[in-house]
Amino acid sequence: MLIFENWKKIVILFVSIFAILFSMPNFVNNDNLPSFLKSGEIRLGLDLQGGSYLLLEVDSDSLQTDRLNSVADELRIALRSANPRIGYTNLSVADTNLTFSLIEEKDLKAISEIILNIDNSLIIDDKIYSSIKISFSEDKIKEIKDYAILQSIEIIRRRVDEVGTNEPIIQRQGEDRILVQLPGLDDPERIKRLLGKTARMNFRMVNETASIDEAMSGRVPPGSDLLFELDPRTGEKTIPYIIYKRIGVSGDQLVDANPSMDQYNQPVVSLRFDSTGSRKFGDLTSKNVGKRFAIVLDGEVISAPVIREAITGGSGQISGNFTFETASDLAVLLRAGALPAPLTILEERSVGPSLGKDSINAGMYAAIIAIILVIIYMLIIYGARFGITANVSLIINILLVLALLGVLDATLTLPGLAGIALTIGMAVDANVLIFERIREESRAGRSNIGAIDNGFKEAFRTIVDANITTLLAAIILFQFGSGPVKGFAVTLALGVITTMFSSLLLSRGIITIWYNRYRPDSLNI
């Protein structure tokens, strides 16, 4: 009698039921299934479902420039309040360096202490007192880049999720790039508009005493910017405004933004501030009744209304020449928050759904034909008993791979389909090793029980060695590969695990139960 422990039978039963149940959503209508089974539906990748592929670059240099501008503001204050006073000229930020000149060389030691007190990660080049250069250390630059990438990924995810895109793939590539895959996307241009905006919003007063004509000719008053109102429908710059640089209320203090309709049935964006923002917005509007203030987004004026009365409730509306979609997009940008640095679209690809459908159909036909041919071959070579065992093992193996892909929320791509096809071959190969060994043992004169037992024992080591080396290769592919390579590695790794289960446990369980029940005189293998 062949021994097969009860706990192994229980494991086989539960795993097989799991494979059958959780692979069902990929074959039948989900509406007819319980909610807990719907997690087994496989998520299709961009190459199968269609959609958009974007490769974005984060301009981390601009974030360094912003940080250095903050350092410059603190440095000005520190130099003015120093005792004795330190004389300097030409303090400015260009690219990723802050430069200025000291009037007297004796102030070099004091200036170094002041700068390091502001930020001890700064590197000071003070060989010449009349040309001092300040920049960030390599470690600080790496920290800034990592922050910019991680924060950008989070903001991109919020913006994409707000639009309702199905299962986006957003991940880092290299030092300063982000890969965005949007399967099934209907309107890629809208996503590009959303991702192309930094969405830094603030409220600033309009300089109504300055001359627009002089500003247009290049003579912008100190402390002011010449900005243009942007028509959200056409994207064209229209009315010029001279706006004070001083920020009254920052968009960082927004807690909510939603599209709505005003009393004239025109699309607007309703805003709500946090407690600090509410207080600042109330002070700004109460002190400037009758004056015009500008709502500035990424250096462009959305609108510049006149303050009719103080707004102290912590909420307000942005009106303009909006459509409901542009109002919704602006609300999405404001809710998701500002990007830490601008994004540049380096590469864009669109995949039509027809390509995905053809690929799925081709993959399905190939898999079905391969499975049918394998089933016929195993029945011819190893007979009904062992052939059926191998085929049941193969089918459960495939169902288990599909169930795991769905439950683990993995994305199935074209290379993933290749991995499933490879799994079919690996599963059959393992059973061939076992059955050939059983055949050899039987021909060598061993008893039926001895042949079966020895066949599984001797093939065990070969199967484990082969599958572990394949699993190691899959892990390396996943670790160092990207995109399609990772998709192949995932299905290959799952296939290795399911193949070892189906060949070493399931096949042995079926043969043991069959032999102990029928006790045949010969194996006929």
CATH number at residue 444: 1.20.1640.10
**Contact call for residues 202 and 249 (beta carbons, < 8 A):** yes
What is the per-residue pLDDT for 179? 87
Residue spans of the chain under pLDDT 50: none
Residue 42 lies in a domain: yes
* CA 381, 386, 389, 393 torsion-angle sign: negative
300 residue type, one letter: E
CA 494 to chain centre: 23
471 residue type, one letter: L
Which residues in 359-396 are b (16+ Cβ under 10 Å) and which e?
bbeebeeeeeeebeebbeebbeebeebbbbbbbbbbbb
Radius of gyration for the alpha carbons in the chain, expressed in angstroms and rounded: 34
Residue 163 lies in a domain: no
Residues 6+ apart with CB under 8 A from 234: none
> Are residues 504 and 357 part of one domain?
yes
Residue 318 lies in a domain: yes
Point out which residues pair with 206 in neighbouring strands.
243
> Are residues 285 and 358 part of one domain?
no
State which of 136, 165, 183 marks the end of a domain. Answer: 136
- Please tell me the total count of domains within the chain: 3
> Are residues 493 and 379 part of one domain?
yes
> Are residues 367 and 491 part of one domain?
yes
Calpha distance 455→503 (Å, rounded): 12
> Are residues 121 and 18 part of one domain?
no
Residue 301 lies in a domain: yes
> Are residues 389 and 506 part of one domain?
yes
What is the per-residue pLDDT for 525? 76
**Contact call for residues 370 and 495 (beta carbons, < 8 A):** no
**Contact call for residues 227 and 216 (beta carbons, < 8 A):** no
**Contact call for residues 296 and 277 (beta carbons, < 8 A):** no
Residue 250, SS3?
A: strand
Residue 109 lies in a domain: yes
Calpha distance 20→425 (Å, rounded): 21
> Are residues 397 and 363 part of one domain?
yes
> Are residues 66 and 45 part of one domain?
no
Residue 169 lies in a domain: no
Summarised one tens digit per residue, pLDDT across range 236-282 is 778 899 998 888 888 777 788 888 887 778 888 888 888 888 888 88
Q: 414 burial class (0-12, 13-18, 19+ CB within 10 angstroms)? A: buried
What is the per-residue pLDDT for 234? 67
> Are residues 433 and 358 part of one domain?
yes
**Contact call for residues 332 and 159 (beta carbons, < 8 A):** yes
Residue 344 lies in a domain: no
And the tokens for 175?
Answer: 């030092």
Calpha distance 505→9 (Å, rounded): 9
Q: Taking the CB of residue 331, how many other CB atoms lie within 10 A of it? A: 21
DSSP of 261-275, one letter per residue?
A: E-TTS-EEEEEEE-H
Q: 507 burial class (0-12, 13-18, 19+ CB within 10 angstroms)? A: buried
The domain in which residue 87 lies consists of 60-136
> Are residues 406 and 502 part of one domain?
yes
State which of 96, 115, 136 marks the end of a domain. Answer: 136
State which of 285, 304, 324 marks the end of a domain. Answer: 324
Strands 293-297 and 300-303: antiparallel
- Residue position matching structure tokens 């001359």: 211
Calpha distance 44→207 (Å, rounded): 54
Helix residue ranges per DSSP H, 135-239:
138-163, 188-195, 212-216
> Are residues 73 and 44 part of one domain?
no
What is the per-residue pLDDT for 354? 57
What is the per-residue pLDDT for 154? 83
**Contact call for residues 297 and 193 (beta carbons, < 8 A):** no
The CA distances from residue 277 to 247, 282, 375, 378, in Å, are: 12, 8, 70, 73
Q: 7 burial class (0-12, 13-18, 19+ CB within 10 angstroms)? A: exposed
Whether residue 84 has a cis bond before it, omega within 30° of 0: yes
Q: Say whether pTM exceeds 0.85.
A: no
The separation between the first and the last C-alpha atoms of the chain, rounded to the nearest angstrom, is 19
What is the per-residue pLDDT for 359? 67
CA 525 to chain centre: 52
What is the per-residue pLDDT for 11? 93
Phi, psi of 404 (to 5 degrees): -65, -40
CATH number at residue 302: 3.30.1360.200
- Residue position matching structure tokens 């039963």: 13
Calpha distance 300→117 (Å, rounded): 35
Helix residue ranges per DSSP H, 265-336:
275-287, 324-336
CATH number at residue 124: 3.30.70
Calpha distance 308→511 (Å, rounded): 87
Calpha distance 135→122 (Å, rounded): 6
**Contact call for residues 525 and 439 (beta carbons, < 8 A):** yes
And the tokens for 416?
Answer: 């993933």
Calpha distance 456→451 (Å, rounded): 9
* CA 512, 516, 517, 522 torsion-angle sign: positive
> Are residues 506 and 363 part of one domain?
yes
What is the per-residue pLDDT for 476? 92
Residue 523 lies in a domain: no
Summarised one tens digit per residue, pLDDT across range 426-457 is 888 899 999 999 999 888 888 888 889 888 99
What is the per-residue pLDDT for 233? 64
And the tokens for 230?
Answer: 């942007």
